[in-house]
Chain A
């Protein structure tokens, strides 16, 4: 089998691993790095369950190959909490019942983490626009939107009117 030895930096930790070039980044994180928090819901880039952050941009981990991520800074759901202490966004998901089965949750958390880290203010239209990237089958999105909205308010990133 044609494999490569690469090192991936995930959540600040280096993982020296061996992968086939065809292995997606999502599968690489799960199988080679043991980080199973990144879930696979469709493997063709529509559902967003595998959304992670690579070099400060949200990406579908099923649409990159593991070998492409060498030298990049990868962030996954496992890197959000500080030990048992949830990030403000995770806490907001908990407080606002932003998850039911929990399968799509890591993807939404990473997408929204990126959204909240941007410098721009967020309004309802932008929130819905960005969150429409990912599919959830349980919540009807109501409490996911609410969780991110409340987290944005807590971080001083929320605006009721459209940004200029």
Chain B
């Protein structure tokens, strides 16, 4: 039986279902409790931070003075137009955003720690703050960092010479200004860590709710200037990340510092308010995009100007370039753009720092380019599907304007399939009937590709000081015949323990239940990068496949000796190694290899018969693609949007576990719907945050998310050795554009369209107020 392609229930689930999962807060019970004192001001000079007069016994206060010798968190990009600013673990002189950790207190219980934090005497001289990206680059704006007098931390620019010519000769120029408001990834488990000092070894074990344990270890060791070998980082069960848990946050080095300094266990469990104001934000961008079109709708050139509000500091290790530079590199998406010009700037403001969030800039650039297509079609009187078909890349590989290679995909097929599934003619009839009754239905399409499995070359192209990319797997067989695969990647809900076991099981002729995927522990796994950027299945999966093939070859060699056959004739199947009719259980081979090396001689001079292998994989990247269709009804009186139908045609190549793949699409689409309609972090002008609770920041519930219909295509590309493409982010990339297009379609009789997300009921009403629908 072949395991890949099966909807195998997940191996991870039983413990989680019994409430026996092990999350950071579960492990932290018993540790001393750390609470951070956070800045009430968006900008200011620290005059003093003092303990209350009667600090209870057994408590601690740590301020910037105590940790002044520690290094700053300073991610780098080797670009002349990047200001490598540093973020102190605790600031000594200035605060830069509301919620910035400015001191830490330690007490026996979380309640007492919070009591104490409330009593710390903080004296800060507030200074002028700037929270809006346009205000931050206006002349005379307050300067956040001396290294960056104009508040532009990073800038990318390119302008192909043919661009100006194309615009000069265009039949139609479509120009569009877009705004995407700030969001928080909002994993259900907030951040947290527990650092424990081992007096016997002098090492610290940090258990943290993170996506990149190896990187966290490197980052902390760098900041603390401590031996990296003295730090073990564990990512236990992690309650979602979506990018937010990639970064090295100041809280983590402080916990390790406390554990070393005080030779004990210290835990910080972030609360929801802290998470909303002080973890990481995303998607705060403004774009101006211009497209030069021929009369038939052919796109001749694209010119984009991208502003991304990256907050007060640059996230480590990915840097604050992640949003603007991704937008610059990937704006053309699945479309042929013969001439391209782009400028992208990362603007620093007195707000919570930006970090990657599922899709990073792509939900916004897809919103941009898909609105552009719709508007151009309308202006030119061309069917928008036909206009897209004319411009979509259809022969592969295709080299994009920014030098990326689009591998085999199904852009046009996915769109046509989606249009058929959505019954476009039938919808138009229903829409017309509804409009006559004063009801506003709309349909919206979103065609996009999703770069997944970014290897080293993709990140190196960004000139990052730390270049993620490869993944390594150490695979070995126990004497009892189970397979252990130790991976550097670090899943947190994506089901990699199951899908990788399926892949490996097929290569070894075993069952997934006999495969253990070991992850999330820097002591037990090879150096690797983690789970982000839709890379787990492609890169860790590719490495597992290579490693399993190498291990299979060793098993065949062992079987050849035992069965007295030639290795090439050995077939691994159903837990046995077969040579014709003769067979030996793989478990028996494992036992013999470990305990009876005398049988084998020592074929490779290693003094044993080794059933262990290491493999790595580092692809250039592969593009999955999809077309989303949203059908909505807009309540013109209240501005409320109800999603009536949602269809996804997804092509992520070979699906190892279609059930898990569907789950990724579901979750992504729900977050995309949240971006489109619900979630917005709002700052007051003084830099205070007005959405510090889940009653104000609105992740949607089961009542708002519609049934999500999924149709799969499976284009197999040679850019991924497993044939699998990533799809973790696609749902969130496609949904905002599809919904914005659907609302715009619904509101066409009013002559308005959606250029700002989230399209809240208040914003929609503001567009409609004073307007009457055309008959």
Contact = CB atoms under 8 A, between A and B. Distances in A.
B694 A139 contact: no
Interface in B618-670: 659-660, 662-663, 666-670
A74 to B, nearest CB: 13
Contacts of B294: none
A140 B707 CA distance: 9
Interface in B103-145: 109-112
A141 B705 contact: yes
A97 B536 CA distance: 19
Interface string A90-130: 10011101011111111001000000000000000000110
Interface stretch (B452-460, B487-495, B753-761): B487-495
A137 B20 contact: no
Nearest to A125: B703
A152 interface: no
A94 B9 contact: yes
B426 interface: no
How many residues of A sit at the interface, in one of the four size bands? 35 or more
Contacts of B702: 128, 131-132, 136, 141, 144-145
Nearest to A22: B111
A8 interface: no
Given A35-B19, A101-B493, A44 B667 contact: no
Nearest to A79: B19
Interface string A8-47: 0000000000001011000100110011111111111011
B189 A93 contact: no
A113 B705 CA distance: 22
Given A41-B189, A135-B699, A140 B705 contact: yes
Contact of A97 (B9, B701, B704): B9
A51 interface: no
A39 B701 contact: no
Contact of A93 (B17, B669, B671, B731): B17
Nearest to A48: B701
Chain A residues touching B, majority SS = loop
B669 A90 contact: no
B23 A103 contact: yes
Nearest to B707: A142
Interface string B672-707: 000000000000000000000111000101111101
Contacts of A133: 701
B708 A102 contact: no
Contacts of A95: 9
B708 A106 contact: no
A93 B13 contact: yes
B19 A94 contact: no
A14 B129 CA distance: 55
A78 B237 CA distance: 17
A137 B186 CA distance: 8
B12 interface: yes
A100 B272 contact: no
A31 B9 contact: no
Interface string A128-164: 1101111111111111110000000000000000000
Contact of B693 (A1, A46, A99, A103): A46
Contacts of B156: none
B16 interface: yes
Contacts of B663: 97, 100, 138-139, 142-143
B208 interface: no
Contacts of A77: 18-19
B22 to A, nearest CB: 8
Contacts of A36: 19, 23, 25-26, 29
A145 B704 CA distance: 13
A62 to B, nearest CB: 10
B187 A81 contact: no
Contacts of B18: 37, 77-78, 80-81, 84, 86, 90
Closest 3 CB pairs of A and B: A37-B19, A103-B239, A101-B493
16 contacts: A1-B112, A36-B26, A39-B239, A47-B188, A86-B18, A97-B659, A99-B13, A100-B667, A101-B237, A128-B702, A128-B703, A136-B188, A137-B188, A137-B671, A140-B668, A145-B702
Interface of B: 9-10, 12-14, 16-21, 23, 25-26, 29, 109-112, 186-190, 237-240, 242, 271-272, 492-495, 659-660, 662-663, 666-671, 693-695, 699, 701-705, 707-708, 731
Given A94-B13, A137-B188, 4 more contacts: A81-B18, A103-B23, A135-B188, A140-B667
